[in-house]
Amino acid sequence: MNLTSLIIISIFATGISSIAVQIVTVREYLSQFSGNEITVSLVLFCWLIVSGLGSLVSRFFPKKSINLYSIIALVTALLPLIQITAIRLFRDSTFIHGESPGFYPIFLYILILSAPYAFLIGFVLPYSLAVIKARGGQFTAGQLYITDNIGDIAGGVLCSFILLYFLTPFKIIAVSSFLLILISLLLFIRIKRYLLFLISLFPVIAFFVFSFGQGFEPSTLFNQYGSNIVSYQESPYGRIVLTREKGEYTLWESGTPIFSTFNITAAEEKIHYPLCQLDRIEDVLLVSGGMGETFDEVLKYAPCHIDYVELDPTLIRVATQSGLLSPKAQVTIIPTDGRKYITDTSKRYSAVIVDLPEPDTFQINRFYTKEFFEKTKGILEKDGILSFSLIANPNYLSEVRVKKLSSIFNTVKQCFRNVLLIPGREIYFLASDGQLTADIPLELKKRSIVTSYIHGFYYGDVTKERIKFINQSIDPAESTNTDFQPRVINILFKEWFKKYGTSPNWFMAGLLGVLVLYLSLTRKEEYVLFSTGFAAMGVEMLILFSFQVIYGYIYLKVGAIITSFLLGLLPGAMLGNKWKKSGKGMLLRAEAGMILLLIVFLIWATFSQSSMAESAFLLYGFTFSMLCGFQFPIAAEIIGEERSPAAGLFAADLVGAGAGTLAIGTLLIPLFGVQAAIIGLILMKAASAMVIIRG
């Protein structure tokens, strides 16, 4: 096999490795920062911007050496293991353990640890083309784009649909990097650099030993979870870790503690506050939180049946094996998304008890929106009750906490006649069309139900003064929280900056200044690719968010959504390569197609917002990205191969994609909602179309 063929295969192998590493990295940051989806856009932004910088540097890099390329390819294959290990080890040495870092600290942490690998990925692709041409090989920028895209698709499919279900992150990295490592070693042999080959064997062997070793990967989690890890499982839905400290077990899901033993108070409050309000109890639906004493407390009311919904089967298995979840004859455990179950079921319940973490992520916020409360009321019997809680100090509420409580109170009040707030260890919301009372011990006494915490401590904790304080704190003018206008996420986003005395304005102004400077130096064709990259990643963020709202398991499907976009690029690039002689007319048709698709998305988000099949999201992403991929070969042909368009076009596409990721996923959706984000993308593509027309 000649050198050109080996380099082309290495381009394909780089695509496989890079996409798998990207998916693993996104999931890793989700676990490190408690599932906050804004980190997804920050990771992709840093990745794409630094990759674009790498592509630009390769354009001006004078030395076109096969020796250097072989070394860079091997380093690119081995570096991801170091990157993921560093992300885990430095998280709790960079931030205070248990601290919720602000926007800027998270951004800098992601940027610093992701930059080396992202730079190499951006550098190596256009550099490979330069090396091929320097050796007299025949290979165009369009062919490079297609080859890389085929590798990306293979990596996305391999990781999303196979590896994530069977392997842990370190093993995924090893499997996906294997081909690139092999080709790099073959290049050393082919160019007769035998000493380099022998030296390279040592890091390669170490790479596989650490990747497949049984003890190394769990040890990298000690900083986050402590050394007393009882169980560590990587689920397609998240990372499940069970720890034990002084006899107390804590169960973690994607970095968030969801249950601790010896907490009878929490079990009694979440069950007895709502259920004692009902004269007759038949079926009870519990959305998460079924561990510990929960079922025992519900069974004191002798319900006909309890349905317990928990998304992750791995979580259920770990909790059952460790004794934290005890199956009962009257309990049916349903492994599915709670909101999806509520939407699809025809069963009616006396009570729905939601026991989820704070709505500080898009995944959890969807259980605190008007749409969710309306769906929940639809499955309740007449005068049935909904219960959930939020963390708050019953004696003092910050301005941000007041806004959050007020938004959710006003939202649920639109759906239920009566809403009662009980300031226990948390603020409990009870919502029903029937009568509600705050005198919980009296109701329990009527039913002869014995409790530990409520019987002895309720009147001392839940005083009339605290109830009055909480209710008087509610602002009736605060906006409601909806799926596509997530007011609570908006409040959280602003809290990030206020907590650390900073503002997003400086960040946006700095980013805008850099982009204006960059665009002033680009060709018109490169600006078109910049806007296309911006729109492609903006739409990807919109689909990720919309999918999360409807289905709630983006941790699982992020790879499938990324892969659907990659799949669309390939036929688009092939068609563009076929019609590249058509010039700007074809570019303009692609622009019109993208604008039309954005208008369709806007209509759906504004007037429908109904549940859509998963395949519809994936098909939309495929179609949009096909139009994006269509433009690359045409733009390269307009510039001309003799002017080496690959590096500039790759850089424009990557920088635009990074800017679109940040603008849509981190700024426009949290601050202004989905509709505003779509309108922003339409305006961006309209400006690009004008450049084509005038150019």
Tens of pLDDT, residue by residue over 431-451, are 999 999 999 999 999 888 988
Nearest to 667 by CA among 560, 511, 531: 511
Nearest to 228 by CA among 250, 258, 210: 250
- Give the 3-state secondary structure of residue 485: coil
CA distance 668 to 590: 25
Range 195-203 average pLDDT: 93
Say yes or no to pLDDT of 249 above 70: yes
Most confident of 13-22, 213-222, 607-616: 13-22
Say yes or no to pLDDT of 84 above 70: yes
Q: Tell me 244's DSSP state.
A: E
Q: Can you give the pLDDT at residue 378?
A: 93
Q: Which residues contact 523 (CB under 8 A, 6 or more apart)?
A: 639, 648
CA distance 691 to 270: 59
Residue 555's pLDDT band (cuts 50, 70, 90): low
Pairing of strands 349-354, 418-423: unpaired
Q: Can you give the pLDDT at residue 183?
A: 94
Q: Can you give the pLDDT at residue 285?
A: 96
Nearest to 646 by CA among 503, 529, 505: 529
What is the Cα gyration radius of the chain?
A: 27
Range 389-415 average pLDDT: 89
Most confident of 58-72, 371-385, 521-535: 371-385
Say yes or no to pLDDT of 130 above 80: yes
Range 382-388 average pLDDT: 94
Q: Can you give the pLDDT at residue 204?
A: 95
341 Ramachandran zone, left/alpha/beta (phi>0; psi -120 to 50): alpha
The distance from CA 91 to its chain's CA centroid, rounded to whole angstroms, is 18
Query: How distant, in Å, are the alpha carbons of 67, 83, 114, 117, 566 from that of 71?
Result: 6, 18, 20, 14, 27
Q: Can you give the pLDDT at residue 99?
A: 66
- Give the 3-state secondary structure of residue 111: helix
Nearest to 408 by CA among 352, 366, 353, 464: 366
Three-state SS for 337-395 is CHHHHHHHCCCCEEEEEECCCCCCCHHHHCCCCHHHHHHHHHCEEEEEEEEEEECCCCC
Q: Can you give the pLDDT at residue 499?
A: 67
Place of tokens 């009527």: 446
- Give the 3-state secondary structure of residue 259: strand
Say yes or no to pLDDT of 641 above 60: no
Q: What is the DSSP string of 543-569?
A: HHHHHHHHH--HHHHHHHHHHHHHHHH
The distance from CA 196 to its chain's CA centroid, rounded to whole angstroms, is 40
- 293 — phi, psi (to 5°)? -90, 5
* Alpha-helical regions (H) of 604-613: none
CA distance 486 to 1: 56
Range 135-153 average pLDDT: 82
- Give the 3-state secondary structure of residue 288: coil
Place of tokens 């034990």: 244
- The more confidently predicted of residues 217 and 95 is 217
Q: What pLDDT digit, counting tens, does each position of 206-245 carry? A: 999 999 988 898 899 888 888 788 888 888 777 899 998 8
Most confident of 164-168, 180-184, 646-650: 180-184
Nearest to 486 by CA among 608, 362, 337: 362
Residue 173's pLDDT band (cuts 50, 70, 90): very high
Least-confidence region, from 54-58, 73-77, 640-644: 640-644
**Domains of the chain with bracketed CATH:** 1-220 (1.20.1250), 226-256 (no CATH), 263-485 (3.40.50.150), 503-695 (1.20.1250.20)
CB atoms within 10 A of CB 582: 13
Residue 363: both structure tokens together? 């995944």
- Whether 8 and 73 have beta carbons less than 8 Å apart is answered as no
Range 301-323 average pLDDT: 90
- The more confidently predicted of residues 395 and 678 is 678
Q: Can you give the pLDDT at residue 528?
A: 82
Residue 327: both structure tokens together? 């199956």
Q: What pLDDT digit, counting tens, does each position of 256-287 carry? A: 888 887 778 888 899 999 999 998 899 999 99
Query: How distant, in Å, are the alpha carbons of 58, 427, 479, 641 from that of 650?
Result: 11, 51, 43, 14
Residue 360: both structure tokens together? 């500080």
- 101 — phi, psi (to 5°)? -65, 155
- 583 — phi, psi (to 5°)? 75, -150
Percentage of the chain exceeding pLDDT 90: 31
202 CB burial (10 A radius; 0-12, 13-18, 19+): exposed
CA distance 240 to 234: 6
Q: Can you give the pLDDT at residue 483?
A: 86
CB atoms within 10 A of CB 155: 29
pTM (predicted TM-score)? 0.81
Measured CA angle at 601 (ends 599, 606), to 5 deg: 95
Torsional sign, CA 97, 103, 105, 108: positive
